[in-house]
Structure 1
Amino acid sequence: MLVLALDTALGATSAALVEAGSGNVLASESEPMERGHSEALMPMVRRVLDHSGKAFSQIDRFAVTTGPGSFTGLRIGIAAARGFALVHNKPAVGVSTLAAFAAPLLFGEDRRPVAAAIDARHGMVFFQAFAMGGRTIAGPGLFSLEDAARKIGDGMVAFVGNAAEKLALARKGTTTDYRNGAVTTLPAPEISWVARLGGVADPAAAPAKPLYLREANVTVGDRARLQRA
């Protein structure tokens, strides 16, 4: 299955064309940016398709991050994915930004629990913690750094997301068993994992639309997709 994945939710514009079953990345591009996602996305998609040697007609599915993320950024990516799907009569699916951050760590060699955190400002984070294999153990939701850190509990854990370092530091004061693993601070998820998660998503259960957690921000659970990836 060929999946075109898009991400404009946070501090980057990203696109990739991936063979979802094998995880083979045919073409991928990501550019860090705080603004300008709308202007950057369509030329990037064209470059990805040109580099892959594939045409829109060969794409089986479109995947897009649905949040948490910026209100404007989310709607740029979602509108593009839904537009492509409509024109080419193919499904568009949504992928949680938190799950996309966590996936490469959960299914890598170091299979420890993972805490994904996105900065919501004012000492708050969008947070979800996953056990090995993708089962959700806390969240998803909007929490203070301290509350999110307490929800992680004791033991070794890896942190990922654009607020990974903040959450790792907050955890020092919430547990007597402080054994953080890797802290991976990224402006946006790895776009190839958006494609892989999108490839196993049920279009009926994972629509390409934002689910609002609070005004101008969104979140969506993604446990089932992680477990099947």
Structure 2
Amino acid sequence: MIILALDTASADCAVAIADGDVVLSRAVETIGKGHAERLMPLLDACLHEAGITLQDIDRIAVNIGPGSFTGIRVGVSAARALALAIGCECVGVSSLAVLGEQQLAAHPGRAVLVTIDARRGEAFSAVYASDGAILLEPAATAYEDLAALAARFDAVATGSGAIIAGLCEASTADHVEIETIARLGLTVTPGASVSPLYLRAADARPQAGFTLPRA
């Protein structure tokens, strides 16, 4: 199965194409902003390197978050539009599931608490058993509650949220790898339309002074 993986949920704008477990091409730019402008050029570069066309893609896997609200929308919208145009399957993979997969490999035989700094005193978090089973579904958790959460499941605390909470040190495994999205995308059963996983409302709020009264 030829799978296209997309990730715009964080500072990275990333694309990878794989044939099963074999990565044919990848392109990653750490840009912070401007994912909508860079995603298609990176996709074109990956298609050229892999020597295939969009019509050869069997499935698209996209990072649905949690992460940047704007970035997630860019990736999910692009994945859904491409899948519709190609007529291929589209599946979502969460940032936390990717980090869980990577951290389980780094801590064999242990449950892991994976976290992403969500600001406002919270971390997006989830707990995975040593066999990959979800012990605690993704949620927004206060920093001060992370230690108790790790103790509850006897889990290794990892990720940027755990770093801020003083539960672990920085690690390269805290970074979402586009190859892991492609690999996990092969295991997801296609279902309903792919949707973002925000876990909480956006930080931005409408400016009340510029709203019009209802008629």
TM-score after normalising by structure 1: 0.80
How much does 1:148 deviate? 2.2
Equivalent pair of 2:16/2:24 in contact (CA under 8 Å): yes
List gaps (5 residues or longer) in structure 2: 204-215
| Alignment root-mean-square deviation, CA | 2.2
Of 157, 164, 167, the match for 1:166: 164
The range that moved more, 42-51 or 130-139, is: 130-139
How much does 1:101 deviate? 1.6
Larger Rg: 2
Report the counterpart of residue 100 of structure 2 in structure 1.
Answer: 102
* 1:214 lines up with 2:186 in the alignment: no
- 1:112-151 paired onto structure 2 within 5 Å: 112-151=110-149
Report the counterpart of residue 213 of structure 2 in structure 1.
Answer: none
Report the counterpart of residue 15 of structure 2 in structure 1.
Answer: 15
- 1:1-229 paired onto structure 2 within 5 Å: 1-20=1-20, 23-107=21-105, 110-153=108-151, 155=154, 157=156, 159-160=158-159, 162-167=160-165, 169=166, 171=167, 183-184=170-171, 188-204=175-191, 207-216=193-202
Between the aligned partners of 2:162 and 2:14, the Cα distance in structure 1 is 20
How much does 1:137 deviate? 2.3
Equivalent pair of 2:89/2:190 in contact (CA under 8 Å): yes
How much does 1:143 deviate? 0.7
Aligned residues: percent identity? 38
Equivalent pair of 1:12/1:188 in contact (CA under 8 Å): no
With over 3 angstroms needed to count, the CA separation of the structure-2 counterparts of 1:158 and 1:208, relative to structure 1, is same
| Count of residue correspondences | 202
Between the aligned partners of 1:17 and 1:130, the Cα distance in structure 2 is 27
Letter in 2 for 1:74: I
List gaps (5 residues or longer) in structure 1: 172-179, 218-229
How much does 1:136 deviate? 1.9
How much does 1:114 deviate? 1.9
How much does 1:104 deviate? 2.2
The range that moved more, 149-158 or 193-202, is: 149-158
TM-score after normalising by structure 2: 0.85
| Greater RCO, 1 or 2 (C-alpha within 8 Å, sep 6+) | 1
